[in-house]
Structure 1
């Protein structure tokens, strides 16, 4: 691919992500603040449930919930939107010559716009409480999660073209994944016979990377993070190649 084609594709990606950001806030009273208001309400709710009902209290616990809820909104919205991207942009898929992986990627980057506002508030609170992030670990965490969520969104978008029930299954699956991901509880509290659910859950590793980068900086393991980065990049690369290979089938079935 030449430089002109790369520049064109990056421009398309930016334009679609920017339009998505504008569409999300158009006509709303609070606009971008909804990306802050909703997580804050959920953080308060889950902190109450975990603290008052289950007896798990402490600043660290509340911060872990805050980090997890903020990230989960970004990831779940990205995958939910990405799953429907080929069908939503049916006219573009059928009429415009462009790499189809750009469409689910634009959903991920569009949600990243919104995530940035909530993250700024979260990071400000962490700094105020004395938690200084490991910048390299934080950048790696962001890169890993962006690649991994983009890969999952692309895979689900392709599957949704051929199996129309995928969208419904994703909505249901994301609800289940939230509760089996150590967000409102630490992974250490999961019974031994259910630890395999944590080990098989990629989001559990992503949550751990962010918790370590933002709160428990002494627990950062760069080796594991670089391994996850390579695996995520390879997965996305292979899925992009697959998407290009089956583009004619996608266009016929979308």
Structure 2
């Protein structure tokens, strides 16, 4: 499969560019919408929670710290959810293409993966501008962001491809994931810091790999500090495990995908 991906690398790159153009065809703002949506969502949370409910970031007196904390968490979650959702539906979305054109089917999730990564780069560029507006100067800790991007994307890709294969055979998977993602978002410290979680419930945070992965962004962007590597060990193992398992599962299910579609 990896050899096939290399042989079709120009097809993959051209498809990523075509997907970005097609997604925002006949839109005046085009690619900006992929940046404005998460920024707008973070702004709404900041307005409601910080201004209306008076939420603050513990240990930080700066009023802009909480919106910055929200942006950091939303950036990490947007990357995760976009890759996961696109991989979940990619085989169904491109069912017509699979039936008409002969090419390695593994190219499809890789194309949506690359498209999501490109969107994320543009989003981070917009966040840098917002941070500068708030007076947050990028520090050396920002250099660790590629680690967060790699781990989150591997985790989301592996999980997304596996669920995407199951979704072909049972469309209930997509409906269940929609609800599960909403719950997953709220049990991940994005709109609230970990310190507000009651002591008797904090053990749940250790079961959620996204806590440590989102924490990479929060530590680097908000507090300008390097993340603690020890809590990242388990999420790294899970991400690599799911990534590897997704290719094995795809290899076994690939011959039946087109027939079921």
TM-score by length of 2: 0.85
Give the aligned partner of residue 222 of structure 1: 229
Offset at residue 130 of structure 1 (A): 2.4
Report if aligned partners of 1:140, 1:225 keep a CA contact under 8 Å in 2.
no
Give the aligned partner of residue 103 of structure 1: 108
Give the aligned partner of residue 60 of structure 2: none
Q: Deviations over 1:5-48 (max 9, x none)?
A: 44323333323322221112111121122123222322221112
Give the aligned partner of residue 31 of structure 1: 30
1:126 aligns with 2:125: no
Offset at residue 150 of structure 1 (A): 0.9
Q: Deviations over 1:79-100 (max 9, x none)?
A: 2221111111113334545443
Report if aligned partners of 2:42, 2:74 keep a CA contact under 8 Å in 1.
yes
The alignment's C-alpha RMSD in Å is 2.4
Could you say what secondary structure the match of 1:43 adopts? helix
Give the aligned partner of residue 70 of structure 2: 65
Could you say what secondary structure the match of 2:125 adopts? helix
Q: 1:198 aligns with which of 177, 202, 205?
A: 205
Distance (whole Å) between structure 2 residues aligned to residue 2 and residue 244 of structure 1: 11
Distance (whole Å) between structure 2 residues aligned to residue 219 and residue 117 of structure 1: 23
* Shift in CA distance, 28/206, structure 1 to aligned 2, threshold 3 Å: same
* Shift in CA distance, 34/83, structure 1 to aligned 2, threshold 3 Å: same
* Shift in CA distance, 161/139, structure 1 to aligned 2, threshold 3 Å: same
Give the aligned partner of residue 90 of structure 1: 95
- What number of residue pairs does the alignment pair up? 253
Gaps of 5+ in 1: none
* Shift in CA distance, 156/133, structure 1 to aligned 2, threshold 3 Å: farther
Offset at residue 138 of structure 1 (A): 1.2
Q: 1:147 aligns with which of 135, 145, 154?
A: 154
Distance (whole Å) between structure 1 residues aligned to residue 260 and residue 203 of structure 2: 37
TM-score by length of 1: 0.87
Offset at residue 101 of structure 1 (A): 3.1
Report if aligned partners of 1:46, 1:184 keep a CA contact under 8 Å in 2.
yes
Distance (whole Å) between structure 2 residues aligned to residue 221 and residue 235 of structure 1: 23
Report if aligned partners of 2:213, 2:232 keep a CA contact under 8 Å in 1.
no
Report if aligned partners of 1:16, 1:106 keep a CA contact under 8 Å in 2.
yes
Q: 2:179 aligns with which of 167, 172, 178?
A: 172
Give the aligned partner of residue 47 of structure 1: 46
* Shift in CA distance, 226/139, structure 1 to aligned 2, threshold 3 Å: farther
1:76 aligns with 2:75: no
